[in-house]
Amino acid sequence: MAAARQVGGSWAPRPSFGRGLGWLAAAVAWVVAGVAGLALAAVLTTLLVIAGVVGAAVVAVTGAVPRARSRRAANDPNLIEAHHVGGHSWVAYGWDGQP
């Protein structure tokens, strides 16, 4: 075996320039993988924060709509309410006693 030498009764690989380059390449790959993982974690965190803000806005608007409808109906005696009954047909309420 020309690629190995005997050290203390056992065989061990000889030091080579390629082995050092392999270790260097592995270290660079490890650093690149860490940076890529950090970037992906930052993007995911940002997306989760944006999703939370949008979700909170949707919940706030959903909670405000019924209150706005009831305030408008209570404050406006001339309000006419209409319901879609299908096709091009609508039924209106609230204008029976108005001239």
Q: How do residues 3-31 score in pLDDT, each as one tens digit?
A: 556 556 677 667 777 888 889 999 999 99
Task: Give the residue among 22, 24, 3 at the shortest CA–CA distance from 14.
Answer: 3
Q: What is the pLDDT of residue 1?
A: 44
pTM: 0.49
- In three-state secondary structure terms, 57 is helix
Q: Residue 4 contacts by C-beta under 8 Å, 6 or more apart in sequence?
A: 11, 12, 13, 14
Assess whether pLDDT exceeds 90 at residue 71. Answer: no
